[in-house]
Structure 1
């Protein structure tokens, strides 16, 4: 190993890893700055992580820290600012550190030698207190960051990344600017405090800043573009961006900058595609995780239970590209079978970025197509010729072009928003390759177009009505010809009559009035091969649909938040293949039928928040394959002695009172684990989630 020798050079703050110049202006970073500063000055962690999506201000914040007087007083000259970027080279970084410190740069044979020499170098530094900033660390560089860890006193590594890296502990997360901070930043870059004659009215400024959505790059770019501009320019900005035009289309500089956020996903095509799928749902609406699971299972071949889909969602969450919101936490949600309470909340700019990512391919080769109720709400990012073509197909002027041939498209995923003004635009296209169809309705009644019969490859149909009252769906018989349709998800939809769909494997119904009660077709005749039935928030359903117990292939039956449901049918014993039975928050449910003992394959039973359930039937002890029981907030429910025969029972999640009953049986169930989680048992959430 070569001896470290002092070179002829000299150390300078302007060297390769000197601290960047102090930002000329910043706002809204004080709270995060204080938090990270305390960790650097007094915290026990050697690695401190700061995360936030691209442009959120991470580099600005750590630069401010390096210029902070207390930080400078502690670390003095031993502050090094290293930009990692996407493909860092360890030997090159160490070489530049040697150069920065004015030492002769050795010729390292490998990374191990380089890192060993770096440790020796750092030990020689005057004062020994060292701060290394590793800026813009990408996911694949985690191991490289670990190599910079040395057992030195007062040695800190400050990492910024677009991704939360679990091994580095809980990160400090930068969020978009609060509105008052965004206003301050905007006024600075728009020069509104100067002696200009063209000062816009305050309400115009408020509208423009709101359009920037709290993202500093957008605020800076738009502010600069409007500075000293005439009032007409300000009004045009508000008009352009308030009527469906994307902020990404307005300014070339912003269009160049923001898509770089997607670069972090280039090495993982599946996650990138899943992120772009988030743009398929309407703006400012919560995206149900269950809808994404249905999509990705068919598009990406993920597992049916949603475990792999949740891994992707959690990855996007950790990368600050999506915010996972759980409407109500319940221990039964953690068994990898149930995500009805999970939603994604997507920042407006990230939604537009997701849509933009979908438009980078040639129009005829795009994986997904988004059609709004007018051309401004449809796909953007098109060149003039493409926009003209799409407009011809989709706009209100289409009635003048009906003699043209229907437009064929190759997209695998189709998202269509329909309101009273534009309920039939998409009926003139032929999406023959589509595997997923998402219909976003704001109409009282909707009828499938005849062209839907030609969607022979369709596997998943997701229909959501965003009006308060259910939307009546007619022409359901057109689905009969879709021999590959495996999944249907309906929310706030009223179906007058179902039809026979032999290929259907999963049916999910949310917030449906009079579900199954008005049709003349038994559910067993309509869906004879159904494997998974999910019924949620059908609040007027008193009994399960007729014929349900004749669907012999059924493996999962989830009936939740159906508060008027009184009992299960006695024939439930016919469901010999049923593996999961979830009845959580059916608050009026009074009993389970004795025949449940014949459901020999049942492995998971959830009766949480069934507050009217007084007891379990004696025959429940015959469920020899039962492994998990969730009965939180079921203090009134008495256990039959036969539960001692549940020899395969592994986990019971329950409240403290119910736990006492199970504790008395543990001697005969030695493998049983009793969990008493802290959960929200307040049922007021019922109304807020369903509205």
Structure 2
């Protein structure tokens, strides 16, 4: 029996055993996985609290009978979870056990958020009573003693905190100055050192001089209780601590107490605030002079200003922290190898950062790895380095780091978590085009309906500091164009994504993410022997030494293939021909020269009949002499397309007869559009941008009767917008921004009765044609100041018109990692 096995252990051990049993059940693909994952999330969030209570009970010799009920429920819970792991998919007992798991979860949340906090408050009062008694006994004597810190005293910072001097100085200035923002937010991913930074702030002499004994440090965590937080603050100031019926009554009481403090400066530190607790911060805002709130969170809170983002440590600071973690308590460092810690020489004679690179500048990772290697001989160091060199995840050797960062993923809704895990398909340290994510998500996830909903998800991830959004144009995307929008992810979080995605057996995982160097294929792949994988997403990244000699693979369920390459020549793998469910293909070359693709014709195979979207970046396209009847969208970015368009005897209308969207961006050898393009009457979006050699549009463009979007931005040699464009009766959006040589709009542009938005910033239009008065649907015109006044003269007729004057807002920093 579980009770007999663990009967003599203290509370933390019993609790830890339950967490282990739940984790094992999830790993075994239990049919109650959703309920078990929620239970696991609760257990992880209260684990440290349970350990602390158990430890204090032992150290202070407090009554443990009050935790007997908790231990009893935990032991019952272990039996319940073991039974749940045996429940079959269609068992009638499934609902019964699901209900029991939900009730166990609710009990644990209530016990730790209500009962345990009440006991803690009572025990603190007992301790204070004892201290007061001791003070009376020792009154007048020469015996020295130390009074315990209050419940809201800031913990002492670590002795060694490299890399925090600059953010400390910046935050100190913000805190000690009069006025400024009342709420200051410090945000970063888990383990980045946010709490360490604010501990140092609270111990800083200038900050202490400013706020004196009115610094309140409160750890909020995932499931905060406003009443308990306020009771602790009152207790810290030795005020009477009443029992509050509601959060509102507690807040009002606290406001009254703070007003009694008068004109003295007050600092409230809310540490580890989760995104769901945004309203909690609002509750603690009061109209008081010299009152500031310092928040640390993994999420950003834009309503409180831009905030302070804590960056990863640089190599120097990282090495200092790593070395400090290596020193054991006796102060004798057994082994330290500068080369292994900082760099290792590869066969190519290129010096690469190693352990520091593995830790990605994360203070938590550096500390964890340092402790892992602390006191170990050289052979252990070398073994670890070899493991990481072979691609073994840093998370596989440590649970503290995994649990810390894993909680950021567990806090996400299921939908947004699924989208976030897809980001591991792209290489580290590279900008991920949002257009590629949209293509992927719209076919993989039914809840992503369009680019706007995808952007919404990315903003939510950005606010949680899980990604960084890079936007080349502030005014872009009003029309649904996201060509200049990118995402970057923290390297350590990307590794966590891959670890999470590949944690299940390869046959069952939903995402297969593979990195190949030279001929070093994963062992499971080379030994697959025809056993199919059932992933929906397949990502393969190869380096400069890869030879394009593929092992066979059976992957009948794959819907999205992402190929990341770095070679000048690349052969598409034959096994793609058997992917009957393939819908999206994304090929990106990160090498210096455009990659020449071969075996491209397999995409025209009858077996790949579901392919809807193709995105090619920085490749040389040999020919479009294939037919893909179901292709809806093709995107060509930084590609050499001239040869394919000029030399092909196969018209593009025959290759893609049902195409809906055609995008060409930064293709410098594009001089004219391919023959047959105007015969694709199904086309709804045509986007030709940053193609500086394109001088004319084809004569038959008026045949694109279903065209709704025509984007020609930054085609600097395009001499005119031909009159045939005015025959596009369904056109809603027209963009000729930065087409420097276009001097006139078509005389009959007024025939575009469906046109809703016109972008013409950077054009040299000297005079608007009178027919614009017939643009009855026109809502927005974006233009330069010189042209804006002309449009203003027509607003008495075009009553719905809004004229937006554009300013230079282009940021081309993203191009630094692109090659032409």
d(CA) in 1 for partners of 2:565 and 2:814? 25
Structure 2 SS opposite 1:565: coil
Q: Structure 1 residue aligned with 2:152, among 10, 14, 17?
A: 17
Q: Deviations over 1:330-366 (max 9, x none)?
A: 63x2314211112222232121011112134454332
Partner residue, 2:481:
338
Partner residue, 1:651:
780
Q: Is residue 487 of structure 2 the alignment partner of residue 351 of structure 1? A: no
d(CA) in 2 for partners of 1:689 and 1:462? 16
d(CA) in 1 for partners of 2:674 and 2:812? 26
Question: 8 Å contact 1:162–1:320 — kept in the other structure?
Answer: yes
d(CA) in 1 for partners of 2:364 and 2:257? 38
Listed as ranges, the matches of 1:142-153 within 5 Å are: 142-153=278-289
d(CA) in 1 for partners of 2:485 and 2:758? 21
Partner residue, 2:342:
205
Structure 1's 374 and 407: CA in aligned 2 closer, same or farther, altered over 3 A?
farther
d(CA) in 2 for partners of 1:624 and 1:671? 14
Question: 8 Å contact 2:570–2:595 — kept in the other structure?
Answer: no
Question: 8 Å contact 1:507–1:533 — kept in the other structure?
Answer: yes
> What displacement does 1:70 show?
2.3
Q: Is residue 705 of structure 2 the alignment partner of residue 576 of structure 1? A: yes
Partner residue, 1:472:
597
Question: 8 Å contact 2:534–2:558 — kept in the other structure?
Answer: yes
Structure 1 SS opposite 2:285: coil
Structure 2 SS opposite 1:669: coil
Relative to the length of structure 1, the TM-score reads: 0.88
Partner residue, 2:637:
510
- More moved, 453-462 vs 551-560: 453-462
Relative to the length of structure 2, the TM-score reads: 0.75
Partner residue, 2:233:
97
Listed as ranges, the matches of 1:360-371 within 5 Å are: 360-371=503-514
Q: Structure 2 residue aligned with 1:662, among 785, 791, 799?
A: 791
Q: Deviations over 1:103-155 (max 9, x none)?
A: 44322222222222222333344765322111111111111221122223322
Partner residue, 1:28:
163
d(CA) in 1 for partners of 2:700 and 2:812? 30
Partner residue, 2:52:
none
> What displacement does 1:71 show?
2.0
- More moved, 680-689 vs 84-93: 680-689
Q: Which has the higher relative contact order, 1 or 2, with Cα contacts under 8 A spaced 6 or more apart?
A: 1
How many pairs align? 662
Structure 2 SS opposite 1:99: helix
Q: Is residue 352 of structure 2 the alignment partner of residue 217 of structure 1? A: no
Q: Is residue 516 of structure 2 the alignment partner of residue 373 of structure 1? A: yes
Q: Structure 2 residue aligned with 1:487, among 613, 638, 641?
A: 613
> What displacement does 1:539 show?
1.4
Structure 1 SS opposite 2:781: strand
Structure 1 SS opposite 2:456: helix
Q: Is residue 247 of structure 2 the alignment partner of residue 111 of structure 1? A: yes
Structure 2 SS opposite 1:558: strand
> What displacement does 1:86 show?
0.8
d(CA) in 1 for partners of 2:446 and 2:296? 34
> What displacement does 1:95 show?
2.9
Q: Structure 2: where are the runs of 5+ without partners?
A: 1-124, 132-146, 344-352
> What displacement does 1:54 show?
0.6
Structure 2 SS opposite 1:150: coil
Structure 1's 435 and 203: CA in aligned 2 closer, same or farther, altered over 3 A?
closer
Question: 8 Å contact 1:650–1:673 — kept in the other structure?
Answer: yes
> What displacement does 1:320 show?
1.6
Question: 8 Å contact 1:445–1:474 — kept in the other structure?
Answer: no
d(CA) in 1 for partners of 2:792 and 2:573? 59
Q: Structure 2 residue aligned with 1:329, among 473, 481, 498?
A: 473
Q: Deviations over 1:415-451 (max 9, x none)?
A: 12346646354x5322211221112233444444444
CA RMSD of aligned residues (A): 3.0
Structure 2 SS opposite 1:133: strand
d(CA) in 1 for partners of 2:546 and 2:448? 39
Q: State which structure, 1 or 2, has the greater radius of gyration over its C-alpha atoms.
A: 2
> What displacement does 1:252 show?
4.7
Q: Deviations over 1:604-663 (max 9, x none)?
A: 111111112222211222111212111121125653232232232222212233334434
d(CA) in 1 for partners of 2:334 and 2:448? 62
Partner residue, 1:455:
579
Partner residue, 2:523:
391
Question: 8 Å contact 1:588–1:611 — kept in the other structure?
Answer: yes
d(CA) in 2 for partners of 1:560 and 1:130? 55
Structure 1's 534 and 432: CA in aligned 2 closer, same or farther, altered over 3 A?
same
Q: Is residue 182 of structure 2 the alignment partner of residue 46 of structure 1? A: yes
- More moved, 245-254 vs 186-195: 186-195
Q: Deviations over 1:299-350 (max 9, x none)?
A: 1125554111111122222222112223x3263x231421111222223212
Q: Is residue 406 of structure 2 the alignment partner of residue 259 of structure 1? A: yes
Partner residue, 2:455:
310
d(CA) in 2 for partners of 1:517 and 1:330? 36
Partner residue, 1:542:
671
Structure 1's 204 and 57: CA in aligned 2 closer, same or farther, altered over 3 A?
closer
Structure 1's 637 and 546: CA in aligned 2 closer, same or farther, altered over 3 A?
farther
> What displacement does 1:586 show?
0.9
Listed as ranges, the matches of 1:515-594 within 5 Å are: 515-594=644-723
Partner residue, 2:11:
none
d(CA) in 2 for partners of 1:572 and 1:349? 49
- More moved, 174-183 vs 300-309: 300-309
Structure 1's 13 and 577: CA in aligned 2 closer, same or farther, altered over 3 A?
farther
